[in-house]
């Protein structure tokens, strides 16, 4: 088994690695190092939590020479603001003993402040696609010196609708550059992007998207409805010793807020929530408080938690069963980061059974089911999305026979707007509307008056 001592690194990088306590590289780090240093286009497919940031940054920092030039030479694109902040912090740790200027840019904050930071010079820029594109259009940032482009979590970026910005950014970059892409899944959209912009890329695939991480214990519960899920989750989370650091995944922002309100009644300030409708400061504070242990429970949507380095999570709860099986893999990977032991718990209703079966088919593994605890109340209250919509018996949503419901308009409703009566009278008299700007009309009027 190789160690970081076997890598061709400078003393400064070795010191930084020692400070971080890293000794053995992960498979993606080991396989990426020489390939990225070789200068070829690279596509890396690896499960979340396997050290992808270090995998691409270590070889790039190894070959980055000192320079006083203003324009950046390395560009890293990530999907969310939180990931920009996290990646910048990680690069600063890796480059602790190297003179490297790193700038992070993202939306939701003043663009002028970021433009001023860029004008002072940067070697590495970490950015979300939207804000980067805005800065380039406003000429606050020039991409003519970019030699290395890294696109991290590219599948999430395309899911969020960033294809247009990414395509435009590719057009603005120099043709002579190295493209490095990392993703947890290989989707059709990702393949299209590779075909359009990559030149004979070297592919590194560490784990198939459906391979469950060996260090994660998986279980599931069959649950009646949303509020019964709340009761079960509350019941389990009361054991603070076992559930000491919990990430709860939910499908969308509205339901995340509803679940947060329910949990807050029992757990108060132990609970935090994170999704894209929250302010930037609130989101950053939620992540910091969760990492430091101030919050024990974090409710999150898939997009917000993707790629975030959330430390020492004991349990990941899938409060809803994701309808894309790959999303389940991303979720449970939060609990098994850096080879740590973790637990994943799935709640599914009768309607979500087919999603659970799709997940098991992808993994080729049947998730062990636990008995529903007798002491947990089964709620009769239904969430809005679970309630049956009542339609009027005499007003079916059908096209046949709808014409019978129409009636002739009343005479007063048949009138059309023809302008004011004054304008109509003038039109009859002078054959055309009287306007102040009609010079010929004014001239004719003067002649008549004479």
pLDDT of residue 207: 59
pLDDT of residue 323: 85
CA 179 to chain centre: 21
Model confidence over 99-138: pLDDT tens digits? 999 999 998 889 999 999 999 999 999 999 999 999 999 9
pLDDT higher than threshold 50 for residue 286:
yes
CB atoms within 10 A of CB 245: 18
Residue by residue, DSSP assigns 395-431 as S-S-STTGGGG--PPPGGGG------HHHHHHHHHHS
Instruction: Find the mean pLDDT for residues 40-48.
Output: 84
Model confidence over 140-162: pLDDT tens digits? 999 999 999 999 988 878 877 88
CATH of domain 4-205: 3.40.50.300
Q: Would you say domain 216-384 falls under CATH 3.40.47.10?
A: no
Provide the edge-to-edge strand list for the sheet that holds 124-127: 102-105, 124-127, 74-77, 148-152, 178-183, 42-45, 202-205
Model confidence over 76-102: pLDDT tens digits? 999 888 889 999 999 999 999 999 999
pLDDT of residue 403: 44
Model confidence over 228-253: pLDDT tens digits? 999 999 999 999 999 999 999 998 88
Return the residue matching tokens 């899938």.
Answer: 318
Q: Which residue has the higher pLDDT, 110 or 340?
A: 110
pLDDT higher than threshold 70 for residue 334:
yes
DSSP 8-state assignment for residue 388 = P
Mean pLDDT taken over the chain: 85
Residue 151: in which H helix or E strand, if any? Answer: strand 148-152
How far does the chain reach from its first CA to its final CA, in angstroms? 109
Domain ranges of the chain: 4-205, 216-384
Whose CA is closest to 370, among 217, 218, 219?
Answer: 219
pLDDT of residue 108: 82
pLDDT higher than threshold 80 for residue 442:
no
Cα distance between residue 312 and residue 377, in whole Å: 31
pLDDT of residue 440: 57
CA 206 to chain centre: 22
pLDDT higher than threshold 60 for residue 446:
no
Model confidence over 175-211: pLDDT tens digits? 999 999 988 777 788 888 888 889 899 999 875 555 5
| CB 177, CB 150: distance < 8 Å | no
Burial 278-294 (b: 16+ CB within 10 A, else e): beeeebebbbebbbeee
Q: Of the spans 22-36, 197-211, 395-409, 434-448, which averages the highest pLDDT?
A: 22-36
């Amino acid at each position: 088994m190789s160690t970081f001592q076997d890598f061709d690194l400078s003393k400064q990088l070795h010191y930084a690695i020692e400070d971080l306590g890293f000794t053995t590289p992960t498979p993606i780090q080991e396989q990426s190092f020489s390939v990225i240093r070789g200068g070829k286009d690279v596509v890396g497919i690896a499960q979340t939590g396997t050290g992808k940031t270090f995998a691409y940054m270590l070889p790039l920092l190894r070959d980055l020479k000192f320079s006083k030039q203003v324009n950046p030479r390395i560009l890293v694109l990530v999907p969310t603001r939180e990931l920009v902040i996290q990646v910048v912090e990680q690069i600063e740790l890796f480059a602790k003993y190297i003179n490297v200027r790193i700038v992070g840019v993202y939306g939701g904050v003043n663009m002028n402040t970021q433009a001023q930071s860029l004008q002072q010079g940067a070697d590495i820029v970490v950015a979300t696609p939207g804000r980067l594109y805005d800065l380039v259009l406003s000429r606050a940032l020039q991409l003519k010196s970019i030699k290395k482009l890294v696109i991290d979590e590219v599948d999430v970026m395309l899911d969020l609708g960033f294809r247009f910005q990414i395509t435009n950014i590719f057009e603005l970059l120099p043709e002579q550059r190295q493209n490095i892409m990392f993703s947890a899944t290989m989707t059709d959209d990702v393949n299209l992007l590779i075909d359009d912009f990559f030149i004979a890329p070297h592919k590194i695939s560490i784990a198939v998207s459906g391979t469950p991480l060996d260090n994660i214990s998986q279980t599931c519960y069959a649950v009646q409805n949303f509020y019964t899920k709340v009761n079960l989750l509350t019941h389990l989370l009361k054991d603070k010793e076992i559930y000491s650091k919990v990430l709860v995944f939910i499908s969308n922002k509205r339901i995340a807020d509803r679940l947060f309100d329910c949990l807050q009644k029992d757990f108060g300030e132990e609970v935090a929530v994170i999704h894209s409708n929250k302010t930037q400061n609130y989101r950053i504070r939620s992540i910091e408080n969760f990492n430091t242990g101030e919050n024990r429970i974090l409710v999150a949507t898939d997009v917000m938690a993707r790629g975030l380095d959330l430390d020492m999570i004991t349990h990941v709860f899938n409060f809803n069963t994701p309808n894309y099986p790959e999303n389940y893999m991303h979720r449970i990977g939060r609990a098994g980061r850096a080879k740590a032991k973790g637990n994943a718990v799935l709640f599914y209703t009768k309607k979500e059974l087919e999603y659970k079966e799709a997940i098991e088919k992808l993994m080729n593994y049947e998730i062990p089911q636990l008995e529903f605890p007798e002491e947990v109340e089964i709620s009769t209250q239904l969430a809005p999305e679970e309630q049956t919509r009542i339609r009027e018996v005499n007003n079916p949503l059908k096209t046949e026979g709808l014409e019978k419901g129409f009636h002739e308009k009343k005479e007063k409703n048949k009138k059309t707007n023809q302008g004011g009566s004054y304008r109509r009278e003038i039109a009859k008299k002078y054959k055309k509307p009287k306007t102040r700007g009609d010079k010929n009309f004014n001239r004719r009027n003067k002649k008549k008056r004479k």
